[in-house]
Every structure is written in C-alpha cells, then in structure tokens.
Amino acid sequence: MRTRIETSRLNPRPFELSDVEVPFEWLHDPIVMRFPPTGPDKSPQQTTARVAGFIEHQKTHGFSKWLNLDRDSTVAIGDSGLLVLPDYGWVDLGFRLAQSYWGKGLATELASAWVRAAFDKFHLTQLGAFVHPRTLLRSGFLKR
C-alpha cells in the first residue's frame, strides 16, 4: 500500500513519468528557483531528468519530492517532499510552489504534513531543511 499524504487543500503524490511536462512551469521560473543551488531548469529535458531522479529516489527510499495537486481542481501547483542528502547526512524537507500559489499558507500546510509523515509514516529519526535568510525576512520570522 502506498503512503498517502493529504492536507486540507492539497493531495501530494509521487511523480510519474507522465508528469515531466507539468513541473517545468515552476522549475524554470527564476524567481521560484532563485535560492536552490541548481538554479532554474533551462530546458524541459532538465526537468525530465529531475523528475526521473525523484522517481528513482522514491523507488530507493520510499519517499521523494512529490507533485502537489490542488484537491479541488487537481491542478499541479508545485512539488514538495523529502530527499536523502548524503553529503549533509540528513533527510531534507523542501517544497516549491508556482508563484500564483504563494501567500496562501500552502507552504506551511505542506511542511506540517511532511514533518508528520517523516516521523509517523517513514519512521525517520531526524529531519533537516535549508532556509534562505531573505525568505525569513520577507515572512516576518526574522527581523532586521
């Protein structure tokens, strides 16, 4: 049985090969991708390789970055999930949303669901995440 993660507004699910065209919308957006070290995808082929990596990670670990689907419309709006980062020695929680979905509390909703899943469903003992300081300043969590 496949693990399910749901929020009140989103249904994340593992990526499938048929999804490769969908995430290019946000993965090539320079604003959405300004903080990841890889930067924005320059071509649909880069996104295809990224999605193939997520699918392989899912097969190996039972979790990965998943496609976030709006519960009502089933439109894909971003990706979120857990990735093993061997260079850092932890499992990383991360998410990206298409810009039109920013400012609606969806990142908080996703983060909460993934933290619960990390410990309750995937039985992890620790979890890490990267946050860029400018993101914290904009959100009001960090004051100048």
Number of domains in the chain: 1
CATH number at residue 64: 3.40.630.30
Please tell me the distance from the alpha carbon of residue 91 to that of residue 137, in angstroms, as a whole number.
Answer: 25
Report the predicted TM-score, pTM, of the whole model to 2 decimal places.
0.88
Domain for residue 65, yes or no? yes
Mean pLDDT, range 42-71, rounded to an integer: 96
Sole residue written with tokens 């990735």: 83
Q: State the pLDDT confidence band at 136, using cuts at 50, 70 and 90.
A: very low
For residue 114, tell me if it sits in a domain.
Answer: yes
Contact 130, 92 (CB under 8 A): yes
Unique residue bearing structure tokens 């699910």 = 13
Q: CA 92, 110, 46, 122: dihedral to nearest 10 degrees?
A: 50
Mean pLDDT of 117-139: 79
Q: Which domain range does residue 31 map to? A: 10-139
Question: Which residue matches tokens 């994340």?
Answer: 12
Report d(CA 24, CA 44) in Å as an integer. 6
Res 144 pLDDT > 70: no
**Residue in the structure block whose two tokens are 């909703």:** 109
Which has the minimum average pLDDT: 45-59, 98-112, 121-135? 121-135
* Residue 1 forms part of a structural domain: no
